[in-house]
Chain A
C-alpha cells in the first residue's frame, strides 16, 4: 500500500472506531488489520492520541491568544487570596503555572512562602498529575538544604497549589562570586548540595534539573535546593524515550548526555549535573568551550565534546554578560591570583569534574556521596579515590558500509607490524652470549627431530615450538636470563603463528623471571611490549594497556634505551589504543613514534609500520586527508626496491584503497583493490582469508559505483568460497552477507536482501551476542529492507534498537548519522514530517562533519532531508537540498552517473514539473534519470519505467 492509500484506510478505520464503544475497538481493529501490523499500529496510535488531552488544541485560536496574554502578564492575581495566603508578587511563570511570593497572617506572626499553582485555565490531566507528583515528592523530603513543603490545597477556582519555604537567596554561582569565596569555600557549598541530593536519592527521588538557579544560598550561607518540578522516582516509571514535555523542560547547559539522548535517567544524571555545577563554581565557566563560544549547540556539545580542563576554562575570554563581580576575573573573585588558581584547579579537581562529567553514566562516580567524598578529600588535602577512568570521546568515526572490510585492513596493518619487530639494540657482551644460547637452543630443536618419529612428514613449526616449550623447563644448562630470553623468543614465534595462549604463557613467565634481575631490563621491556601485543589478540585490552604503559614508564626511567626500542614501545601502545578504538591516543603514540623513527636511522620496515599505524589512527579520527598522506608515504617506503608481489606493498595499497573508499573515490579504490587482489592471489592463494576479504572489498567498490550486477556476482562468489572454507556460521560470511545485502537492497531484490541480512544477523548474534557491533549493523540494514517493504513500525523499532545500542558507552557508533537518516526516512513514511526533518538535519550535520560535503553519505543525507522537507510543505527547502544532493554526487562521480543520483534527479524533476518556468529543466532531469536507470538498472526495471511515465506524459501533453 502506498502512503496515500494507507492514509485513506487509516482514516476509515479511525472513523469506524468512533462508532464503537471503547471496549470493543481493539478487538474489532485487530480483526480488520489482521495482516497489517503497521496499519493497526497507526490507528491505535491515533486513538490513543485522541484520548490524550492537549490543552492548546481545545481552546481555538482565541484560546491560544488568551493564554499567551496570560503568559505575558499574570498580574491580576496579585493581592488576591488563595487558601490562607495572600499573593504578593510573581516570582516566575511559564506555560504551565506560576510561582508567587505569598504571605499568611497567623495572629501576630506573618509567614512568607513561595506559592506554586497551575494556571486557572487550560489545565490538562497531565499537567495536573505532574504538579501533584512534585507536591508528593516534596512531602517526603525534610532536609536542611531542601526548600521545605508547607502545605497544599485547592484554590476556590478548583486549581491545586502548594506552598514552599520561601528562600531569600542568591543562585549559588553568583553567591560564590559576590562573597569572593575561595576554592575551599566553594567546595564546602557544593558539599551541602551533595548532601541534599544524596538525601533525595535515598528517598528514591532524582532531581533531574540541578542548576544554579535552582540552588539558592541564603544570607546565612546555607544552600537550599528548589524545584522538584521534573523530578522523578528512581525506576518508578519506564523513562526510556523522553516525552516532548520533558525535552522542552531540560536545561541544556546542565543536562546530562542521557537526558539529551532520551536514555534512562538515574541518579547518575544528578552526578553529572553536580559535575557541571562544581565546574562552573570553580572556573566560572561551563564545561564545553565550543558551546560556550556559540560554535556548537549545547545539546551537541553535551553528547560529543570533551569537557575542557578547568585550567583551560580559566583562560577563555570573559563572557560579554558577566556579572560585575566576576568581571574582575575568576582569580579575584576567588581571593587569589591567576597562577595560584590555575595550580589549584589542576590535578585532583580536574579529575573529579572530568569523572563526574563522563558521558557514560557508568563511568561517573557511582553515587553523589562518592563524588562528595572526593571533594572532601580535596578540602582536607587527602588523596582522592583511584578508579577514575579516563573518558574516551565517543565519535562517529566509522564508515557505515564497510566496517568489516575496514577492520580487516587494520588487522593487516597490525599483523604486519607485529611480524616486523626489529630490534637493533647495541648488544652487550652478555646479551651477545645470551643470543648465542638462544640460537643454540633453537637449532637444537630442529636437529632433535627424530626422523623415525617424523616418518617422512614435515614437522610443523607448531610442533617444534611445543617441543621447545617442554624442553626449556628441563634444560638445566641455561641461566635465568637465557631461559627468559628463549621463552621470550618462543613467545614471539607463537604470536606470529597466531597461537596466542601459548605466547601469553611463555611471555608472562619470562617477564616474571626477568623482573628479578635489573641486568635484563631491556629484554624485559621488549617482552612486556610483546606480551601486550599478544593480550590485544586475546582481547584482554585492559591488561594490555596497563602492561604497555608500564613498559613505557620503565623505559623512561631507564637510561640508554635506544630510539628504535622506544619507538617499538610506542608502537605497542599505539597498537593497544587502536584495538581499544581510542584513536586519539593511537595518534598520540604514532606521532611520537614517527618523530623518533624519522630522527633515527631505522630499517624501512620500521618506518613502514609507523606510517601504517599513523594512517590507521588518522583514519579512525575521520581525518582522511591525513590518513591518505601517511598511507601514501607508507606505500612509497614499501615500494622502494620492492620485488614484484611484495606483501608490504600490497598492504599499503589495501590501506590506500580503504582511504579512497572512505573519500568516496570509488573508481580509484577499485584500481587499488585490483592490484592488491592480484598479489594476494599469487602469494597467498585464491582461498586465503585475506584474498577473500580483498575480493569482497573489490565487490563493494563496484557497488559504490552503482555497478550492482557486477557487485552481486563478485560477492556471491566470495560468499560461496567462504562457505566452503569456513562452513556456514563463520563471522567472515556474515561480513560478506552484510555487503551483499546492501547490493540486493539497492538493486531492488528485497526478499533476497532480507534473507542474507537475516543470516548475517543470526551468525553474529549466535557468536558474539546481539550487542556486537556487526549485529547492530546487520539490524540497521534489515530495518531498511523492512522500511522499503512497508513494514514501517518494525523498521522504526529496529532502528530505535540500533540507536540505543550505538548510544551505549562501550559502543563504537559505526554509523551514527546513518541511523538518524534512516529513522528520519521511516518517520517520513509514517507521515511524521516534522520529526523526519529534525532527524534528517541531524544526520546531515553528522555526515558533513564526518564525511565532508563530497560523499555518498552526505549526498544521501541531503536527499532524505529534501524528501522530508517536501512532505513538511517546504518546497523551497526541498529544492535546495535536492540540488545540494546532486552537487554532492557530482563532486565525486563524473556527471553524477549513479543510480542514487538518478533518483535525486527524478525527485527534483517532479518538484519542478508543475512550475511553468522550471518545466524545461524538469524534463531534462527526467530524461537523464531515465537514461541512468536504463544503464544501471535495466530498461525493464520498474524504477526505470516509473521515471519514464511522467516523461511520456509530459511529452504527450506538450504535443497535445
Chain B
C-alpha cells in the first residue's frame, strides 16, 4: 500500500525533475531513501525473509514506474541511480555506525577479542565503498553496473533490458567489475 503511494509520488517527482524542476530530484531521492531505509529496518526487526526486502521494493517500484506513466528512459535510469545511491548510503551509514560502535565499545571484559575473528563486515563494506569509487573513476559504466546490480538489486536481465544489451555481456562485465573490486579491496597485496 505504502509502496503504491510512494511509487506514484516518485513518478510525479521524476516527471517534474525531467521538466527541469531541480528540487524535485532531491525530493525524489529523499523519498526513495526513506522508503528503503524503513524497509531495511523493518526487515531486520522481523524474522529473516518474512518482509519485503529493500531490493524487492526497488524492483516493485520499478515495475510500477515501468507500467505507469513514466516510461521515459531518462527517468527510469534516474530512478535506478537514485535507488542505488540511497541503498549505498544506507549501507555505508550502517557500516560507519557499526565500526564506530565497535571502536568505542569496552572490550575489557571479553575473554576473546573480536579482532581475532577477522575484519568485520562493516569494515569490509567501507573498503568496498572506496573500491567502488575508484572503479567509477576508471570506468563509469562498470561503476553504474555495480550500483544497479549490487546496491539496487537489479538482475542482469533487468540491466540488459534497460541498456539494450545481451545478458551475457552484462554478466561478463559484472565479473570484471567484481574482480576489480576484489583486487582493490586487497590493498595489502604487493603487486
Where the two chains meet, the residues of A that have a C-beta atom closer than 8 Å to any C-beta of B are 7, 11, 14-15, 18, 41, 45-47, 49-50, 52, 54, 56-57, 60-62, 64-69, 71-72, 91-99, 114, 127, 167, 169, 209, 211, 213-214, 216, 226-227, 229-230, 241-249, 251, 262, 323, 793, 796-797, 800, 826-827, 830-835, 838, 871-873
Contact = CB atoms under 8 A, between A and B. Distances in A.
Interface in B32-82: 40, 44, 48, 53-55
B130 interface: yes
Interface stretch (B5-13, B14-22, B86-94, B157-165): B86-94
A7 B138 contact: yes
Contacts of B133: 872-873
B144 interface: no
A71 B134 contact: no
Contact of B111 (A45, A91, A96, A833): A91
A167 B188 CA distance: 34
Contacts of A65: 40, 44, 54, 90-91, 94
B116 A832 contact: no
A792 to B, nearest CB: 8
A94 B191 contact: no
Contacts of B90: 61, 65
Given A61-B88, A94-B118, A54 B112 contact: no
Interface in B132-180: 133-134, 136-139, 149-151, 153, 169, 172-173, 175-176, 178-180
B98 A96 contact: no
Interface in B78-113: 87-88, 90-91, 94-95, 98, 107-108, 110-113
A349 B74 CA distance: 73
A796 B190 CA distance: 8
Given A209-B116, A872-B130, A54 B182 contact: yes
Contacts of A56: 121, 124-125, 128
B172 A18 contact: yes
A872 B137 contact: yes
B114 interface: yes
A118 to B, nearest CB: 9
Nearest to B182: A49
Contact of B151 (A61, A213, A242): A61
- What is the size category of the interface that chain B forms with chain A? 35 or more
B27 interface: no
Contacts of A167: 111
A748 to B, nearest CB: 26
Contact of B175 (A18, A214, A216): A18
B151 A241 contact: no
A11 B176 contact: yes
B134 A834 contact: yes
Contacts of B121: 56, 64, 67-68, 71, 95
A49 to B, nearest CB: 4
Given A52-B182, A61-B150, A94 B188 contact: no
Given A47-B179, A56-B125, A96-B117, 4 more contacts: A214-B113, A241-B190, A251-B115, A834-B187
**Residue in B118, B139, B180, B186 with the greatest tally of chain A CB atoms within 10 Å:** B118
A34 to B, nearest CB: 21
A213 B106 CA distance: 13
B114 to A, nearest CB: 4
B134 A833 contact: yes
**Residue in B40, B87, B121, B124 with the greatest tally of chain A CB atoms within 10 Å:** B121
A127 B124 CA distance: 14
A756 B137 CA distance: 37
B31 interface: no
User: Which DSSP category, helix, strand, loop or mixed, fits chain B's interface?
Assistant: helix
B150 A7 contact: no
B184 interface: yes
Contacts of A47: 179
A216 B110 CA distance: 12
User: Which DSSP category, helix, strand, loop or mixed, fits chain A's interface?
Assistant: helix
Given A54-B182, A99-B112, A68 B187 contact: no
B60 to A, nearest CB: 14
Given A49-B182, A61-B87, A832-B183, A92 B114 contact: yes
B28 interface: no
Nearest to B141: A11
B55 to A, nearest CB: 5
A648 to B, nearest CB: 49
A832 B184 contact: yes
Nearest to A241: B190
A62 B183 CA distance: 22
A120 B117 CA distance: 14
Contacts of A71: 98, 120-122
A833 B190 CA distance: 14
Contacts of B188: 241-244, 246-247, 262
Q: Which 6 residue pairs across A and B have the least CB separation, nearest first? A: A94-B117, A92-B112, A96-B118, A50-B179, A248-B119, A244-B188
Contacts of B91: 61, 64-65
B132 to A, nearest CB: 10
Contacts of A793: 191
A835 B134 CA distance: 10
13 contacts: A11-B176, A62-B54, A65-B90, A68-B95, A92-B110, A94-B117, A95-B118, A229-B117, A793-B191, A800-B190, A833-B134, A872-B133, A873-B137
Contacts of B172: 14-15, 18
**Residue in A18, A62, A67, A243 with the greatest tally of chain B CB atoms within 10 Å:** A62
B26 interface: no
A93 B119 CA distance: 11
B117 A93 contact: yes
Contact of B134 (A57, A60, A872): A872
Contacts of A247: 188
A94 B116 contact: yes
A211 B113 CA distance: 10
Nearest to A795: B191
Nearest to A92: B112
A226 B153 CA distance: 42
A61 B153 contact: yes
**Residue in A242, A248, A793 with the greatest tally of chain B CB atoms within 10 Å:** A248
A97 B115 CA distance: 11
A57 B150 contact: yes
A67 B87 CA distance: 15
Contacts of A872: 130, 133-134, 137
B185 A94 contact: no
A246 B188 CA distance: 9
Nearest to A870: B137
A7 B138 CA distance: 8
Given A14-B176, A241-B190, A72 B117 contact: no
B185 A54 contact: yes
Contacts of A69: 44
A138 to B, nearest CB: 14
A159 to B, nearest CB: 14
Contacts of B55: 60-62
B184 A213 contact: no
Contacts of A243: 186, 188-189
A244 B187 contact: yes
A95 B191 contact: no
Nearest to B130: A834
Contacts of A242: 188
Nearest to B106: A321
**Residue in A95, A251, A796 with the greatest tally of chain B CB atoms within 10 Å:** A95
A831 to B, nearest CB: 5
A49 B53 CA distance: 30
Nearest to B175: A50
B184 A834 contact: yes
Contacts of A834: 127, 130-131, 134, 184, 187
B113 A68 contact: no
A98 B111 contact: no
Contacts of B179: 14, 46-47, 49-50
Contacts of A245: 118-119
Contacts of B94: 65, 68
